[in-house]
Amino acid sequence: MTILEVEHLRKTYGEGPRATHAVGDLSFSVSSGEFVCIVGPSGCGKSTLLKCMSGLLPASSGEVRLAGRRITGPPPAMALVFQEYGRSLFPWMSVRDNVLLPLRHKGLSKDEQRRLVTDSIDEVGLTRFGDHYPWQLSGGMQQRVAIARALAYQPEVLLMDEPFASVDAQTRSDLEDLILNVRDRYGVTVVFVTHDIDESVYLADRIVVLTPAPTEVKETLTVDLPSPRDQVATKELPEFAHLRAHTYRLIMRPSDHEDPVGATAGAVAHGSPK
Amino acid sequence: MHRGTRMAPVVLVAVLLVLWELIARLSLLPRPEFPTMTGTAVELVRLLGTSQPWLASAQTLQAWALGMVIAIVLAVPVGIAVGTNRMLYRSVRLVIEFLRPVPSVALIPLAILIAGAGLTSKVGLAVFGAFWPLLLQCYYGMQDLDPVAEDTARSFGLGRFARFRHVALPSAVPYIATGARIASAIVLTVVVSAEIVIGAPGLGREVFVAQTSGAYETTYAITFLIGMLAWGLNVGVSAAERRVLHWHPSQRPVEA
């Protein structure tokens, strides 16, 4: 069943000859319970796309529908996790209060709110840290708080904007597995924007590869890797290597009028260290 | 902290006091106008045994407290309104830019004309002086709202009021606290100046009276009292700031 549809979405900043076309005619859809990664070259308007999808930014034309209803503002069935956890968590609130804040206006009983907060903090493995302040925690732990906050909100769709881009490699693997677990346990649909190709292949059921701005869908890939994924075993599979290489070429391949040699050199220079 | 480092300021103060005593004793400066440190200390102790300096301190402190409360009550809401509403900001900017640089003490004659030489004048002038920096700090605080924090709050469906109450206001508090610290110093300065110039009751009038009547040791003793009062207020305001801003990077304990 389709839960999220992006249809002929366009986003233009400014007007006339000086207008910037960030997103140009983008369409794709996400099924309920699916894990979709959106990857594309740097500066391809991924964040703009996510803002339009979350209702934070109005589209210039086209529309985004959640469960068949057009999105005009942030919908209650959607939660966002930002890359900048340090700015997205509120430093004057404890971990608990950060997780609690979005629940206050949802019309839940106090007991229900408390239960959701406790459960989601437990889920991300921060049971003992509820009374800490975000700035007392490491970066990875802070991003766990942001994930707990999103989970407590009980969304049907979780939108994540390069959520693990600012943590170290080890923490990143842990968080990747955490989010896969969360998806299985909560049955939530995840739309995950990343610029890391390995990450997208490892996490996704499907990858939407974008073109440079004005962004369009270049190709959609089904990732047919066995579940549950494993940081070592999954990445050893020939299919993993094949998908990774294919995605890489899609993103790094020059368009017809560009110099292919230069582009190949660029691909090597930007190569992921993993 | 190392013991020597902790003792250094105490040693410096002691050296300065001894230096003062020596300069006065050796008559390096004209003796009557520059009393000795010990003479001043004796006079200070004598004064503190009377009710006069305590009453005067209470009067100065009362004006300071009134000035702070009124300035905050007036400036914070206006600053927040101006900081959140561009139209309002554009319309009041000129007035602010024109009135802000006017020194409070220049308004003393006007204040006497309007409100006489009492508490009202002192407090009114102090409020005028403290109002502008406090207003601007509130304005900057509201302007500096992090777009990621705002997006986060919006994405979780927080309405305008909830975003103001839980996000915009707390993130402006560091600015408002700085404004309050600046305001505190301004209010005390203006209050004491007004007491000296208008003769409104308080430590300022006491020090002025002592000086004009040639009681130089008393003049020094009261000046010292005013210094102590200013220092105490600064310590108090900083402590309050630390309490409110325990979460802010400037106040967080240094990690071991």
What is the per-residue DSSP string for B47-110? HHTSSHHHHHHHHHHHHHHHHHHHHHHHHHHHHHHHHH-HHHHHHHHHHHHHHTTS-GGGGHHH
Domain membership flag for residue A175: no
Average pLDDT over residues B181-203: 94
Give dist(CA A44, CA A24) in Å, integer: 11
Considering only the beta carbons, identify the residue of A87, A92, A133 that sits closest to B170. Answer: A92
Domain membership flag for residue A267: yes
Predicted confidence (pLDDT) per residue in A174-205, tens digit: 999 999 999 999 899 999 999 899 999 999 99
Average pLDDT over residues B186-204: 94
pLDDT category of residue A18 using cuts at 50, 70 and 90: confident
Q: Answer yes or no: is pLDDT of A263 > 70.
A: no
Domain membership flag for residue A106: yes
**A133 contacts in B (CB within 8 Å)?**
247
Q: Counting runs of H as helices and runs of E as strands, what totals does chain A give? A: 10, 10
Considering only the beta carbons, identify the residue of B154, B247, B248 that sits closest to A74. Answer: B154
pLDDT category of residue B252 using cuts at 50, 70 and 90: confident
Q: Answer yes or no: is pLDDT of B4 > 80.
A: no
Average pLDDT over residues B57-61: 96
Sheet with strand A157-161: strands edge to edge: A78-81, A157-161, A189-194, A35-39, A206-210, A217-222
Helix (H, G, I), strand (E, B) or coil at B167: helix
Q: Are residues A221 and A257 in the same domain?
A: yes
Q: Are residues A131 and A96 in the same domain?
A: yes
Q: Answer yes or no: is pLDDT of A93 > 80.
A: yes
B248 part of contact set with chain A, CB < 8 Å:
yes
CB contact under 8 A, A105 and B166: no
**A76 contacts in B (CB within 8 Å)?**
157
User: Cα distance from A102 to chain B (closest Cα, Å)?
Assistant: 6
Q: Are residues A196 and A234 in the same domain?
A: yes
Close Cβ partners of B26 (under 8 Å, ≥ 6 residues apart): none
pTM equals 0.84
Q: Are residues A69 and A90 in the same domain?
A: no
**B160 contacts in A (CB within 8 Å)?**
none
CB A10 within 8 A of CB A61: yes
Give dist(CA A79, CA A76) in Å, integer: 8
Helix (H, G, I), strand (E, B) or coil at A28: strand
Q: Are residues A137 and A225 in the same domain?
A: no
B144 part of contact set with chain A, CB < 8 Å:
no
Average pLDDT over residues B188-197: 95
Predicted confidence (pLDDT) per residue in A41-63, tens digit: 877 788 889 999 999 999 999 99
Give the pLDDT confidence score for residue A75 in this predicted structure: 94
Task: Check residue A7 and report its DSSP letter.
Answer: E
Give the pLDDT confidence score for residue A255 in this predicted structure: 54
B169 part of contact set with chain A, CB < 8 Å:
no
- A165 token code pair: 């881009």
In one letter, which amino acid is B127?
A: V
CB B122 within 8 A of CB B71: no
Q: Answer yes or no: is pLDDT of A272 > 50.
A: no
pLDDT category of residue B117 using cuts at 50, 70 and 90: confident
**A105 contacts in B (CB within 8 Å)?**
157-159, 162
- At which of A98, A133, A154 does a domain end? A154
CB contact under 8 A, B157 and A74: yes
Predicted confidence (pLDDT) per residue in B144-180, tens digit: 999 999 999 999 999 999 999 999 999 999 999 999 9
The whole-chain average pLDDT of chain A stands at 88
Give the pLDDT confidence score for residue A21 in this predicted structure: 87
Find, among A234, A220, A229, A178, the residue nearest to A39 by Cα: A220
Give the pLDDT confidence score for residue A262 in this predicted structure: 40
CB A159 within 8 A of CB A77: no
pLDDT category of residue A253 using cuts at 50, 70 and 90: low
User: Cα distance from A80 to chain B (closest Cα, Å)?
Assistant: 7
- At which of A133, A154, A175 does a domain end? A154
Q: Are residues A73 and A1 in the same domain?
A: yes
Give dist(CA B156, CA B150) in Å, integer: 10
B182 part of contact set with chain A, CB < 8 Å:
no
Give the pLDDT confidence score for residue B233 in this predicted structure: 95
Q: Are residues A88 and A214 in the same domain?
A: no
Burial class (CB in 10 A: 0-12, 13-18, 19+), A127: exposed
The domain ranges of chain B are 66-198
Domain count, chain A: 2
Give the pLDDT confidence score for residue A258 in this predicted structure: 44
CATH number at residue A264: 3.40.50.300
Q: Answer yes or no: is pLDDT of B103 > 60.
A: yes
Task: Tell me the residue range of the domain where A130 lies.
Answer: 79-154
CA B81 vs CA A250, B70, B91: distances in Å:
51, 17, 12
Domain membership flag for residue A98: yes
ipTM (interface predicted TM)? 0.86
pLDDT category of residue A264 using cuts at 50, 70 and 90: very low
CATH architecture of B66-198: Orthogonal Bundle (1.10)
Task: Check residue B255 and report its DSSP letter.
Answer: P
Instruction: Quickly list DSSP for B93-131.
Output: HHHHHHHTTS-GGGGHHHHHHHH-SSHHHHHHHHHHHHH
- Site of tokens 């109002």: B131
Give phi and psi for A81, each to the nearest 5.
Answer: -120, 125
Beta bridge partners of A21: A12
pLDDT category of residue B118 using cuts at 50, 70 and 90: confident
Domain membership flag for residue A177: no
Close Cβ partners of B111 (under 8 Å, ≥ 6 residues apart): B121, B124, B125, B194, B198
Q: Are residues A254 and A160 in the same domain?
A: yes
Q: Are residues A160 and A44 in the same domain?
A: yes
Q: Answer yes or no: is pLDDT of B5 > 90.
A: no
Q: Are residues A114 and A148 in the same domain?
A: yes
Give the pLDDT confidence score for residue A37 in this predicted structure: 96
Domain membership flag for residue A130: yes
Give dist(CA B90, CA B88) in Å, integer: 5
Q: Are residues A73 and A86 in the same domain?
A: no
At CB < 8 Å, which residues of chain A contact B?
51, 54-56, 74, 76, 78-80, 82, 84, 87-88, 90-92, 101-102, 104-105, 133, 135, 149, 153
The whole-chain average pLDDT of chain B stands at 91
Find, among B200, B230, B228, B222, the residue nearest to B47 by Cα: B222
Average pLDDT over residues B223-240: 94
- At which of A154, A175, A201 does a domain end? A154
CB B128 within 8 A of CB B107: yes
According to DSSP H, which parts of B156-202 are helical?
A: 160-163, 169-198
Higher pLDDT, B256 or A96: A96
Q: Are residues A64 and A145 in the same domain?
A: no
Close Cβ partners of B140 (under 8 Å, ≥ 6 residues apart): B83, B175
Predicted confidence (pLDDT) per residue in B80-99, tens digit: 999 988 899 999 989 999 99
Domain membership flag for residue A84: yes
